[in-house]
Structure 1
Amino acid sequence: MKDDTDFAGKAVLVVGGSSGIGNGIAHGFRTRGAAVHVWGTRAQATDYDPDDGSDLAGLGYSCVDVGDPDAIEAAAMPFERLDVLILCQGTVVYRRGEFEREGWDRVMAVNLDSLMHISRKFRPQLSQSAGSIVIVSSISGLKANIGNPAYAASKAGAISLTKTLGQAFAADGIRVNGLAPGLVDTKLTKVTTQNPDRLEGALAHIPQRRMGTPEDMAGAAIFLASPLASYVTGHTLIVDGGLSL
């Protein structure tokens, strides 16, 4: 029987795949046979600390500052052919820094603007392969996020962009979908996960009573990029253990 989650012979680029959710997604595709390349922010793969959830073994790597449109434009194509593009880049500024211009501009550039710039860059390749884009947003895009207006607004924009690109790219044979994680244990969520009181309070609001894992997000991304979701376009799948219910 054919396995629709077998990506042998496929090429996958995971932007933001150096750690956390993106890294989990990258290895999810790698273990299913894909050639996987990731974009990250550090000069080389060896600059990443495994204690921060970074495992780049078996993955190609390039340093690209996705907050800079010119850097995106100049970045080398990782493969001659591209079948799946995962957009998992993200940043956040705490201590109310997103209420200031510098914090707002940086978060929006990385979390929202770069989604469009990268999608446009790889559209010709994905059109040739009838490929798929998966945009990782957040349930923060569906509600207010105390102290982080740029993060919430950028993720709401990502959900809307998923719909619009899903419609616009469908004629090219490209499916564009997204997934919206809830609380996932990564370096971006340490402000919660490493504070016992905060963590207890957060888990109390999750019906499944646990945090999500990068592997949970990988399962959703693999489904969306696979033939199992061949008639799904412009949709953002909420993957949050019931937190947003």
Structure 2
Amino acid sequence: MSDLDFGGKTALVVGGSSGIGNGIAHGFRERGAKVHVWGTRAAAADYDPADGSDLGGLAYAKVDVGNRAEIEAAAPIDPLDILVLCQGTVVYKRGEFGPEGWDKVMAVNLDSLMACAMKFHDTLAKARGSIIIVSSVSGYQANRGNPAYAASKAGAVSLTKTLGQAWAGDGVRVNGLAPGLVDTKLTKVTTEHPDRLRGALNRIPMGRMGEPSDMAGAALFLASPLASYVVGQTLIVDGGLSL
């Protein structure tokens, strides 16, 4: 059996309704896992495939993780072997400099990571499972105009280290991955402006944007037996952008 065969395993991808999370969800599904996804809309049919949403073969539930009460009220998933925390939001036009924008981003991008991890800790411990926290290369550098996004992603990297240390003895491996520029609806502010896109691509040694499938490859590795001795690490997956 391949180390990347997830047959008989169950995964939950928070934020798996589109973009990077959706790519990761399908990566696990294609390798045999039963995959649940959480998103913010009432039903799977409310997502537009044009936004990178493909919920075929995935078990969907509406859970807005920006609201802690919804996390607490969400139906349990047991057994659970893999928890991928890929939720994320951003507020443009300097909206994160105000308290409303700051609080919104921090609630989704950082606070909910801990709430979700705590909710499923015991279930994952029973399965000797793993958590993968998706942060960003913005967690390692400044992000012009988006202080909450950058701070929340730096916090996610730190949380990965701290939970990795705290929970390894419980049988739960916690690791993370930090994408660079990936073609999703959150990056349309760059991808839909030719001059911005050209400038961004010039800074990426590989000369292309990442795809959700690139992030899925890293997540599959981190959840697999191939990474059985990897704990608390965030793997940067950015085509060389941060170099």
TM normalised by structure 1 equals: 0.99
- The alpha-carbon deviation at position 69 of structure 1 amounts to 1.0
Aligned to 2:122: 124
Aligned to 1:243: 241
The 2-side partners of 1:80 and 1:100 are apart by 40
Aligned to 2:30: 31
Secondary structure of 2:36 counterpart: strand
- Residue 74 (1) aligns with residue 44 (2): no
The 1-side partners of 2:63 and 2:78 are apart by 18
- The alpha-carbon deviation at position 133 of structure 1 amounts to 0.2
Which deviations, in whole Å up to 9, do the C-alpha atoms of 1:179-228 show, x marking residues without a partner? Answer: 00000000000000010000000000000000000000000000000000
The 1-side partners of 2:193 and 2:2 are apart by 42
Aligned to 2:211: 213
Match of 1:223 among 215, 221, 224: 221
- The alpha-carbon deviation at position 49 of structure 1 amounts to 0.2
Aligned to 1:40: 39
The 2-side partners of 1:161 and 1:225 are apart by 18
- Residue 176 (1) aligns with residue 166 (2): no
The 1-side partners of 2:78 and 2:132 are apart by 20
- The alpha-carbon deviation at position 70 of structure 1 amounts to 1.1
Return the letter of the residue paired with 2:157: I
The 1-side partners of 2:92 and 2:116 are apart by 26
The 2-side partners of 1:137 and 1:24 are apart by 15
Structure 1 runs of 4+ with >3 Å offset: none
- The alpha-carbon deviation at position 68 of structure 1 amounts to 1.0
Secondary structure of 1:176 counterpart: strand
The 2-side partners of 1:92 and 1:20 are apart by 14
Match of 1:95 among 82, 93, 96: 93
The 2-side partners of 1:80 and 1:95 are apart by 41
Secondary structure of 1:80 counterpart: coil
Aligned to 2:63: 64
The 1-side partners of 2:78 and 2:238 are apart by 35
Aligned to 1:55: 54
Secondary structure of 2:108 counterpart: helix
Secondary structure of 1:134 counterpart: strand
- Residue 142 (1) aligns with residue 133 (2): no
Aligned to 2:110: 112
- The alpha-carbon deviation at position 80 of structure 1 amounts to 2.1
- The alpha-carbon deviation at position 138 of structure 1 amounts to 0.0
Unaligned runs of 5+ in 2: none
TM normalised by structure 2 equals: 1.00
Return the letter of the residue paired with 1:127: A
Which deviations, in whole Å up to 9, do the C-alpha atoms of 1:93-150 show, x marking residues without a partner? Answer: 0000000000000000000000000000000000000000000000000000000000
The 2-side partners of 1:37 and 1:82 are apart by 10
Q: How does 1:179-218 map to 2 (within 5 A)?
A: 179-218=177-216
Percentage of identical aligned residues: 75
